[in-house]
Every structure is written in structure tokens, then in C-alpha cells.
């Protein structure tokens, strides 16, 4: 089913999408109660090792995919380090960095990195169609929802091209600037966005009529190519959760863990 | 066909039955359908004709249940599909009886893969998974698209998309196939493929066909009336049924009326309406009449060939790709690796002179639109140069271009403050005066096109580029576009437009560029290019029979144009010799429903 996205065959790509999504969700949930930098740091490294070993993502893609998470993590780190009161580490007015701020900030930053690497592993190894089929099969998500998402996915693929055409069409009549280009200000952005909205709404309506005319939501349905759910998926879930709990336990045993009370 | 299905129809409920159906949409004082009654038997094939706004689409929407279930309207009368009242049956339940093929290839296919698209229909009908694969093969084979099975839908051409959508409509073994202008967005090849696929699907007579098609002249193709479904229902502008019966006898009877209403008709029917002589292009009397319209063969009375003005736009050794112009031209500009650098066209030399009208013909995806965008400076050429003043460009979808909140504001966009009076004049000239305060998005398709053309012409650029300016227009709007082009050209504008509409090209273009295999394969006077068989075939251009006969028979482009202009003029002049409407069949209460 790899014709949709660029999902290369890898051990992780063969696992059930719903299981992978559930795993991502559970690990994120567990990380919510962790406020020390060590646990998420170790988990990030473990996650990175797993992704490198089992996801077969090209290094360049992996690096690029890190960018949004790194940006987000840095933001959290800086905000916490600068704004949190506590023992002053660096005092160069107006900059003042506190130890507590640095600890909490790095914990939260590493948490987003840990969740980030797992998300990258999930997205890069999961075919959207298989995900939707699997969510319908194994998570009892209604077919109306899963197929609407898939149709939306197809629409999404056409959006950049549509946007480009609208921009071109609207720039034809705008005055030229000295250097030859046309201005693209807030107003122009607004009208172009509106045109895109109108065109997309129409297409969305037609797509939904097409889906309905194909008999979506008529009652009991069959699944032609079910997404397999096997013992290996259970093993993945158990091993991964086990590893996370083990890390949390060891860090706790070493006396390095911090709870939510660190925040206050 | 009717004979084979007759026994079935005596027992099975009719595929579709309308009983005195009237439909009025909210905020409208006029019924779109008025008192329509007819029955379509199982396996019967029907084409629905009528002027723009006569309720053809509403009729289809009533069959699919979209009206009144999804679109609110005031409906009286009863519609049954396969014996079930559409008012009491949900759209999805009707779906099991229907196969629907919509107009727009982009929204006809919903899912990312072809296999999945087809399997989806069967999954929804709870067909056992073991049967699905074989049925996918069967449906694709019927529409001649077996090779497309493994493809992603995003990579399909328009004609391929429509065939996959047709296979998806057929795979559930519907009782009735509803076709809503299925070929209007396709080029000649795509249209032929889809038409043949529809024919193949309907041949066994197990499925009834309800077709609405707007370019009947192109759909019928070389086979003329014989290429159309056997039965024909004609809707009037008032939403009533004007004629109902065998296509071969209804079309000649309704010819004049449909012609004057601005419908595109099969060649034979149109010629009968315009000349009053039946028999089509093969008939000697028709040929004599056409030659009569062409005027003096010596060309003595022909106007001098358009005096070629100065070159207003030129592309030299141009390479055309889909790569957009960079937003910034600074040092750090880097081409995105994903951008499509593949050259669509190379070594293009084009010159456009003041007052000249030039048409670009070629397949969908051959690079016609990209050529226009490159000439307009909106795409970066992969090689060569574009010289000339900044041209105007009218896009295929007028909505992409809209910037104003009203029609008047739309035309004023980018104009100096003192342009007011000129804009009013322009609005009148393009028949938009009445609509000046309306929202552009709320106009009809034809009005939107007129608006986008008027708004561009208001800028008085030295040259005008237009992408498929007559796509989806009825005959009257097409004639109006031709007139607007000629006015602009007479005022000195050089016009270059892409088109699939060979007849319009023959009517208006002085010169034709033929695009095929990544380059321009012909560039010359319209009549000469349209005569060339092999090159036309390579470019995927099909010349309709009337135009083919004219360019082969007449000695000058001016005479060809004179004949086509005279035929266009007859749309407004009224029919000269069609038999007077038979009182027994003309009224809305006519067509005593064929007894079945």
C-alpha cells in the first residue's frame, strides 16, 4: 500500500498503525508526570535509537523532521529559564537565569523532544490509508469519519497547487513594483485565502456527495484488505511500555526523578 | 436495445419515474422544474437537453436525492427510483440503485488509490472481501482502464479519472447510471475514452442511462445523432418538458427551438435549424447552402487579411516548465528541490502582433496553460526570453481571479481612480450592467467568465492571454466571447488563447499554434493548420465534421469564418425553415408518456 506516501518498508512500518498510535499516546501520557530532565532525555535517546534501527528514515528527513520540535523545545527552555524564580545562576541584567527554571525548562524541552522523536517514527512509518483502515477496524472509529479524513487528505494534496494558481491569477492585475514583482500584502493574502476557501468548500461539498453516492455510511460494511493485528504488535506495545517504565523506575531509584510539585 | 430490455421492464419497477414534479429553490420566484412527468424503463438510455438554467442539473439532483435531502428546495410531485420514493429514502440508500458520474474529474474520485476507490463501493455494500478483487478487474475492463488498477488517483489525467469514476459508478451494479456532463472538462481524447466507456457499459442493456451533456455537438462526434442515447427529453427555459421521444425524431423537431435557446447541438441538427435543410453535412443541398454562405470564391469581397501590426509579445527559444517565479530574487534564493523542473515545452518561438488573434491547440497537460503563464511572467522559463509589454491573462477558473466584492469593484481592481465612466461602459458592453452590484461569486458560470474577461480587458494591456475562455459556456456566451475578442483585436490588442473548442478556434483565430510532444509542431493560418491530418492527430486535436468539411472545401480562412459566423448569427435570427411546432407535442403537457 506504499503508493500513497513515501513509506519505505521497515520493521516499524509493518506494525499495526492503531497500536503505534496508542503507544505514542500512552508514552506521552506517562511523560506528563515526569518533571526531571533525565527521564525524557534517556527516553529521547532510546527513541532515537529505535527510530534509527527500525524505521529506516533517511538521515536528512530525520534531521529536517526534528526542526519543529527543536524550535518548540528551545522556546520552552528559554521561557522557563528566564522567567522562573529561584536560585540565580546567571545574573546579567536584564537577563537572569534560575537553576529551577533551567531544570524545569530542560525537562519540558526534553519531553517535547522525546514525544517528537516518537511522533516522527510514527508518521514516517505509517501509511495514512492503513492508519484510517486500522482505526476503523481496531479502534471502532466510524467509516464516515475515516473516509472523510482520507478524502480530505486527497484535497489537501491539491491545495498547494490551487494556492499557487490563485496567487498567480490575482497578481495579474496588481501594479508592478520597481523591481518587477507584485506586492503580496496582508490584504492580498486575505483575498487569496478567501478564494481558496470558496474553491475548497465547493470541492469539499462535491467530494462529500461523491462519497455518499458511493454508499458511505449505509450500514454494515466489509473490509477488503484488513490491516493485520498480530502477536508482534502486542510484543511491540509490551516492550516499548516496559522500557519506558523501566527507565522511569531506574531514574527514580537513583533519586534523580522529580514530580509535578517541582513546578510550584 | 429497447427490445431486449422490454420483457424486464414489464415486471421490474421503472428505473426512474417523475410524476408532475416541480422544484423551486428558496429565494427564487421561479420554478426550476415545472410539472415534469416521465418514466425511464429499466435499461433505457436517455439524454436530457435544454438551455442553461432549464433545470437539467436539478433533474439529476432529484434522481440522486441530493434535492431535497442535502439541498433544500420546495418540491411537489413524486420521484421514484427503482420503485422507491426519493423523498422517503436517504441519499445513501438510493446510492445502492444509482451509479453517479459527476462533471469535475477532481472530485469524481475521492480516495488516494484506484483500487481502493473501487473497493470502497463494494465494502459499503458489504460485498464479501473474496469477491472484491475480481469485480474491480471486471469494472475496470468494462471502461477500458484495466491498466490503471495500481495507480494513485493523484496521478491520473482527467480522462483517466473520469473512467475510474465511471468504473466506481458501475461496480456496484446499479440500475441506473446518472451522468452529469461527464466530458465537459476533458480534451478530445479524454472525451472519446469516456464516451466509449459509457457506451460499453450500457451495451448489455442492464443499466438505464440518464445523461445530461452540454456540448452535444462534441459528444455525438462523427456518429452524429446515432452517437447519442436513443431517447431524448427536452426541457424548456420554463422548466417544463417540451419534447420527449426517440432522439432521432425529437432532435429534428426541436432543432429550431434548441438552437435559438443557445444549446450546442449535433452538427446535423444545428444545420437543419440554421439552414432549414435536414440531412447534415453529407447532404448536397446542405453543402450548397453552406457554400452560399461562404460568399465569392475568388475572395474579391473578402476583407484584406488582418494587417499584422507590431509585435506586442514574443517568446524566443522559450523553455516552459511548471516552476513558479521566485518570490525574492536575492542572493539566497534557492530552488525548492520538489519544484517541477521538467520542461514541458522547449524551443518555443512565438510572436503575437497587435490586432491578431492566435489560438493554441493541444492535449490536456501538453503545456498550453504553462506556456501562457510563462508568457505572462508568472512562471520562470527554463530557457530563452520573453519580450514585450506586460500582458493580461484570463485564467480558466474565473473564481481564482476575483478580488472585488461586487462586479463593479471587480472591474475597478488595479485601475486608476478616474476609470469610473469607462468601467460603466465596459460593464454594459459585456452585458454585466444589470449585475454591477452583485457579488462575483454569486454569478452563473457564463457570467463569471464574462466578468473575468471584462476585468482584464479594462487594463488595456497590449496583449491578452486567455486559458480556455469558452470552456463550459453555452452557445450564446461563446458567441459573446468571440465578439469581445474581435472588438479587443480591432482596438489593437494581440490575443493568444488556448482551447479545445476547435469550432471557436476556426471562427475567431487568425493563426493557430499546435502543441505536441513538448514543442510547437505547427504555426500558421488557422485554415491551413486545421487541414493538416497527421499533425492534428499527434496533437490530439479532433476537428468536428463541419469544420473539417469547411477547411477542406473552401479556399480561404475568411470564407470559413463567414460560414461559421452566419451559423452563429442564426442563433439570434430564429429558425428559417424548421417545421412549425406541432401543437400536439410542443406544449408542456405534451409527450403522452410513451407507453411501456
How many domains does the structure of chain A reveal?
Answer: 2
Interface of A with B in 21-40 (CB under 8 A): none
Does A206 reach chain B within 8 Å, measured CB to CB?
A: yes
ipTM score for this prediction:
0.82
C-alpha cell at A54: 527500525
| Interval A34-76: pLDDT, tens | 899 999 999 999 999 999 999 888 889 999 999 999 999 999 9
HEC-encoded secondary structure of B103-119: CCHHHHCCCCEHHHHHH
Distance from CA of B110 to the nearest CA of A (A): 5
- In this structure, are A142 and A121 located in the same domain? no
Asked if A60 reaches chain B (Cβ–Cβ under 8 Å), the answer is no
Q: How far is B305 from chain A (nearest CA, A)?
A: 32
Residues of chain A in contact with residue B151, where contact means CB-CB under 8 angstroms, are 3
Task: Give the chain A residue whose CA is nearest to the CA of B340.
Answer: A161
**pLDDT single digits (tens) B110-166:** 888 899 999 999 999 999 999 999 999 999 998 888 999 999 888 888 888 888 999
- Give buried/exposed letters for A11-25 (b at 16+ CB in 10 A, else e): ebbebbbbbbbbbbe
Cβ–Cβ below 8 Å for B107 and A207:
yes
The 10s digit of each residue's pLDDT in B310-320 is: 999 999 999 99
DSSP B155: G
Q: Which of B70, B90, B92 to mutate to test the interface with A (most CBs of A within 10 A)?
A: B92
Instruction: Give which of B121, B122, B97 is closest to B208, Cα–Cα.
Output: B97
Tell me whether A144 touches chain B (CB under 8 Å). Answer: no
Query: 3-state SS of B31-66?
Result: CCEEEEEEEECCCCEEEEECCCCCCHHHHHHHHHCH
- C-beta separation of B178 from B103 below 8 A: no
* DSSP structure string for A213-252: HTTTTSS----SSPPP--HHHHHHHHHHHHHHHHHHHHHH
Q: Are residues A22 and A94 in the same domain?
A: yes
Chain-chain contact of B122 with A222 (C-beta, under 8 angstroms): yes
Are the beta carbons of A105 and A82 closer than 8 angstroms? Answer: no
- Select the residue of A1, A150, A222 nearest B128 (Cβ to Cβ): A222
- A84 with A17, same domain: the answer is yes
CB distance from A196 to chain B under 8 Å? no
A141 and A55 in a single domain? The answer is no
Please give the residue of chain A at the shortest CA–CA distance from B165: A210
Measured in angstroms, the CA of A217 and the nearest CA of chain B are apart by 7
Q: In the predicted model, what is the mean pLDDT of residues B252-268?
A: 91
Please identify which residue in the block is written with the cell numbers 527554463: B382
Record: contact B124-A221, CB cut-off 8 A = yes
Residue B227 C-alpha cell reads as 452517437
Residue A204 sits in the same domain as residue A237? no
Phi, psi of B45 (to 5 degrees): -115, 130
- Cross-strand bridge partners of residue A185: none
> In this structure, are A143 and A41 located in the same domain?
no
Please classify residue B237 by burial: count the beta carbons closer than 10 Å to its beta carbon, then call 0-12 exposed, 13-18 middle and 19+ buried.
middle
The answer to whether the Cβ–Cβ distance between B459 and A173 falls below 8 Å is: yes
User: Residues of B with CB below 8 A from A150's CB?
Assistant: 110-112
Same structural domain for residues A27 and A74?
A: yes
For residue A180, the model assigns a pLDDT of 67
C-beta of residue B530 within 8 angstroms of C-beta of residue B513 = no
pLDDT of the residue at B593? 37
Q: Which CATH architecture has domain B2-265?
A: 3-Layer(aba) Sandwich (3.40)
A207 occurs within a structural domain: yes
When pLDDT is cut at 50, 70 and 90, the band that residue A182 belongs to is: confident
Q: Do the domain assignments include residue A222? A: no
What's the pLDDT score for residue B336?
Answer: 46
Q: Are residues A239 and A258 in the same domain?
A: yes
Q: Residue A6 domain-assigned? A: no
Work out the percent of chain A whose per-residue pLDDT is above 90: 50
Q: CB within 8 A of A207, min separation 6: which ones?
A: A151, A154, A155, B107, B110
Nearest CA in chain A to B328: A181
Written as nine digits, the cell of A164 is 499557487
Contact check, Cβ <8 Å, B113/A4: yes
Whether B588 shows a pLDDT value over 50: the answer reads: no
- Domain of residue A16: give its range: 12-126+230-263
DSSP character for B414?
Answer: T
Cross-chain Cβ contact B400/A213 below 8 Å: no
Please state whether beta strands B208-212 and A88-92 pair in parallel, antiparallel, or not at all (unpaired): unpaired
Closest CA of chain A from B295, distance in Å: 42
Torsion of CA B543, B548, B550, B554, to 10 degrees: 120
Q: How many CB atoms lie within 10 A of CB A155?
A: 17
Q: Are strands B383-388 and B311-320 parallel, antiparallel or unpaired?
A: antiparallel
Three cell numbers at B257? 427551438
- CB-based contact (8 Å) between A195 and chain B? yes
| Lowest mean pLDDT, pick from A95-109, A115-129, B579-593 | B579-593
Q: Would you call B119 and A206 a contact, using CB atoms and an 8 Å cutoff?
A: no
Closest-CA distance, B45 to chain A, in angstroms, reads 20
pLDDT (mean) for B486-505: 94
Could you tell me the three cell numbers for A261? Answer: 510539585
CA atoms of B125 and B136, how far apart (whole Å): 14
In a domain, A145, yes or no: yes
Average pLDDT over residues A159-178: 87
Structure confidence by residue, pLDDT tens digits, A114-166: 999 999 999 999 988 889 999 999 999 999 999 999 898 888 888 888 999 99
Which residues in chain A have Cβ-Cβ distances shorter than 8 Å to B413? Answer: 173
Residue A221 counted as domain residue: no
Task: Report the candidate in B450, B314, B455 with the shortest Cα–Cα distance to residue B371.
Answer: B314
Residue A158 inside a domain? The answer is: yes
Residue A112 forms part of a structural domain:
yes
Same domain assignment for residues A138 and A121:
no
DSSP conformation class of B582: P
Q: Rounded to the nearest 5°, which phi and psi values hold at B318?
A: -75, 135
> Does A4 fall in a domain?
no
Q: Which residues of A touch B405 (CB under 8 A)?
A: none
Of the candidates B501, B493, B502, B498, which has an alpha carbon nearest to the alpha carbon of residue B457?
Answer: B493
- The burial class, CB within 10 Å (0-12 / 13-18 / 19+), for B200 is middle
A119/A48 Cα distance (integer angstroms):
11
User: What would the 3-class secondary structure string for B166-225 be?
Assistant: HHHHHCCCCCEEEEECCCCCCCHHHHHHHHHHHHHHHCCCCCEEEEECCEHHHHHHHHHH
- Residue B116 near residue B151 (C-beta atoms within 8 A): no
Strand order in the sheet with B511-516: B392-394, B463-467, B494-499, B357-362, B511-516, B519-525
A258 against B128, higher pLDDT? B128
Mean of pLDDT values over B414-434: 88
Q: Say yes or no: A222 contacts chain B, CB-CB below 8 A.
A: yes
Amino acid at each position: 500500500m506504499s503508493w500513497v506516501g513515501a513509506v519505505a518498508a521497515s520493521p516499524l512500518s509493518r506494525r499495526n498503525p492503531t497500536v503505534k498510535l496508542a503507544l505514542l499516546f500512552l508514552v506521552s501520557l506517562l511523560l506528563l508526570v515526569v518533571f526531571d530532565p533525565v527521564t525524557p532525555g534517556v527516553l529521547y535517546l532510546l527513541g532515537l535509537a529505535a527510530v534509527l534501527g527500525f524505521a529506516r528514515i533517511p538521515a536528512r528527513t530525520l534531521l529536517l523532521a526534528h526542526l519543529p520540535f527543536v524550535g518548540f523545545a528551545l522556546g520552552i527552555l528559554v521561557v522557563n529559564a528566564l522567567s522562573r524564580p529561584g536560585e540565580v545562576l546567571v545574573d546579567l541584567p536584564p537577563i537572569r537565569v534560575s537553576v529551577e527554571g533551567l531544570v524545569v525548562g530542560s525537562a519540558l524541552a526534553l519531553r517535547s523532544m522525546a514525544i517528537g522523536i516518537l511522533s516522527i517514527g510514527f508518521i514516517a512509518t505509517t501509511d495514512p490509508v492503513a492508519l484510517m483502515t486500522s482505526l476503523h477496524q481496531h479502534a471502532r472509529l466510524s467509516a464516515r469519519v475515516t473516509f472523510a479524513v482520507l478524502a480530505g487528505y486527497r484535497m489537501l494534496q491539491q491545495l498547494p497547487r490551487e494556492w499557487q494558481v490563485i496567487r498567480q491569477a490575482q497578481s495579474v492585475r496588481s501594479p508592478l513594483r520597481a523591481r518587477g514583482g507584485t506586492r503580496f500584502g496582508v490584504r492580498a493574502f486575505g483575498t487569496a485565502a478567501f478564494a481558496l476557501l470558496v474553491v475548497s468548500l465547493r470541492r469539499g461539498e462535491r467530494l462529500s456527495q461523491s462519497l455518499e453516492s458511493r454508499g458511505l455510511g449505509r450500514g454494515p460494511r466489509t473490509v477488503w484488505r484488513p490491516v493485520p493485528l498480530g502477536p508482534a504488535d502486542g510484543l511491540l506495545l509490551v516492550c516499548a511500555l516496559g522500557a519506558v517504565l523501566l527507565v522511569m523506575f531506574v531514574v527514580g531509584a537513583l533519586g534523580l526523578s522529580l514530580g509535578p510539585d517541582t513546578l510550584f | 436495445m429497447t427490445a431486449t430490455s422490454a420483457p424486464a421492464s414489464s415486471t421490474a419497477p421503472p428505473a426512474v419515474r417523475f410524476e408532475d414534479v416541480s422544484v423551486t429553490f428558496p429565494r427564487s420566484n421561479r420554478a426550476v422544474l415545472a410539472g415534469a412527468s416521465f418514466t425511464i424503463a429499466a435499461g433505457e438510455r436517455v439524454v436530457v437537453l435544454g438551455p442553461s438554467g432549464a433545470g437539467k442539473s436539478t433533474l439529476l439532483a432529484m434522481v440522486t436525492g441530493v434535492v431535497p435531502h442535502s439541498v433544500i428546495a420546495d418540491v411537489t410531485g413524486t420521484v421514484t427510483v427503482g420503485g422507491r420514493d426519493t423523498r422517503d429514502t436517504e441519499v445513501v440508500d438510493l446510492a445502492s440503485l444509482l451509479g453517479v458520474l459527476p462533471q469535475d474529474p477532481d472530485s469524481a474520485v475521492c480516495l488516494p488509490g484506484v483500487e481502493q476507490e473501487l473497493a470502497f463501493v463494494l465494502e459499503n455494500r458489504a460485498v464479501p472481501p473474496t469477491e472484491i478483487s475480481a469485480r474491480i478487474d471486471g469494472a475496470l475492463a468494462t471502461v477500458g482502464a484495466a491498466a490503471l488498477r495500481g495507480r494513485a488517483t493523484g496521478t491520473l489525467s482527467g480522462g483517466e479519472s473520469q473512467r475510474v469514476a465511471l468504473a466506481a459508478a458501475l461496480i456496484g451494479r446499479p440500475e441506473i447510471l446518472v451522468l452529469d456532463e461527464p466530458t465537459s472538462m476533458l480534451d478530445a481524447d479524454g472525451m472519446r475514452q469516456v464516451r466509449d466507456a459509457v457506451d460499453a457499459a450500457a451495451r448489455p442493456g442492464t443499466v438505464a442511462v440518464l445523461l445530461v451533456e452540454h456540448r452535444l455537438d462534441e459528444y455525438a462526434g462523427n456518429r452524429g445523432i446515432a452517437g447519442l442515447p436513443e431517447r431524448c427529453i427536452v426541457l424548456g427555459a420554463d422548466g417544463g418538458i417540451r419534447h420527449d421521444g426517440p432522439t432521432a425524431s425529437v432532435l429534428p423537431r426541436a432543432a429550431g427551438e434548441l438552437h435559438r435557446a443557445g444549446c450546442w447541438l449535433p452538427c446535423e441538427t444545428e444545420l437543419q435549424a440554421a439552414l432549414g435543410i435536414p440531412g447534415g453535412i453529407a447532404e448536397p443541398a446542405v453543402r450548397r447552402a453552406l457554400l452560399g454562405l461562404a460568399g465569392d470564391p475568388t475572395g474579391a469581397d473578402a476583407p484584406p487579411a488582418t494587417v499584422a501590426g507590431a509585435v506586442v509579445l514574443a517568446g524566443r527559444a522559450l523553455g516552459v516548465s511548471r516552476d513558479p517565479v521566485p518570490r525574492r530574487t536575492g542572493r539566497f534564493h534557492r530552488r525548492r528541490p520538489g519544484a517541477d523542473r521538467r520542461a514541458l515545452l522547449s524551443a518555443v518561438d512565438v510572436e503575437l502582433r497587435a490586432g491578431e488573434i492566435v489560438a493554441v491547440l493541444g492535449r490536456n497537460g501538453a503545456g498550453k496553460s504553462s506556456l501562457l503563464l510563462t508568457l505572462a511572467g508568472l512562471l520562470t522559463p527554463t530557457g530563452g526570453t520573453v519580450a514585450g509589454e506586460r500582458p493580461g491573462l484570463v485564467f480558466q477558473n474565473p473564481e481564482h481571479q476575483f478580488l472585488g466584492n461586487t462586479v463593479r469593484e471587480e472591474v475597478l481592481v488595479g485601475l486608476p481612480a478616474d476609470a469610473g465612466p469607462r468601467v460603466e461602459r465596459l460593464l454594459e458592453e459585456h452585458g454585466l450592467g444589470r449585475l454591477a452590484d452583485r457579488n462575483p461569486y454569486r454569478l452563473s458560470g457564463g457570467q463569471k467568465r464574462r466578468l473575468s474577461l471584462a476585468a482584464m480587458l479594462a487594463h488595456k494591456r497590449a496583449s491578452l492571454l486567455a486559458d480556455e475562455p469558452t470552456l463550459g459556456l453555452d452557445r450564446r456566451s461563446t458567441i459573446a466571447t468571440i465578439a469581445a475578442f474581435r472588438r479587443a483585436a480591432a482596438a489593437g490588442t494581440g490575443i493568444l488563447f488556448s482551447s479545445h473548442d476547435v469550432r471557436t478556434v476556426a471562427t475567431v483565430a487568425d493563426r493557430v499554434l499546435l502543441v505536441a510532444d513538448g514543442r510547437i509542431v505547427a504555426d500558421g493560418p488557422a485554415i491551413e493548420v486545421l487541414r493538416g491530418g497527421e499533425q492534428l492527430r499527434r496533437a490530439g486535436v479532433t476537428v468536428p465534421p463541419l469544420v473539417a468539411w469547411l477547411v477542406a472545401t473552401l479556399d480561404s480562412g475568411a470564407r470559413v469564418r463567414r460560414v461559421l459566423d452566419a451559423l452563429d448569427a442564426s442563433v439570434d435570427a430564429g429558425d428559417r425553415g424548421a417545421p412549425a411546432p406541432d401543437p400536439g407535442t410542443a406544449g408542456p403537457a405534451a409527450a403522452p408518456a410513451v407507453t411501456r
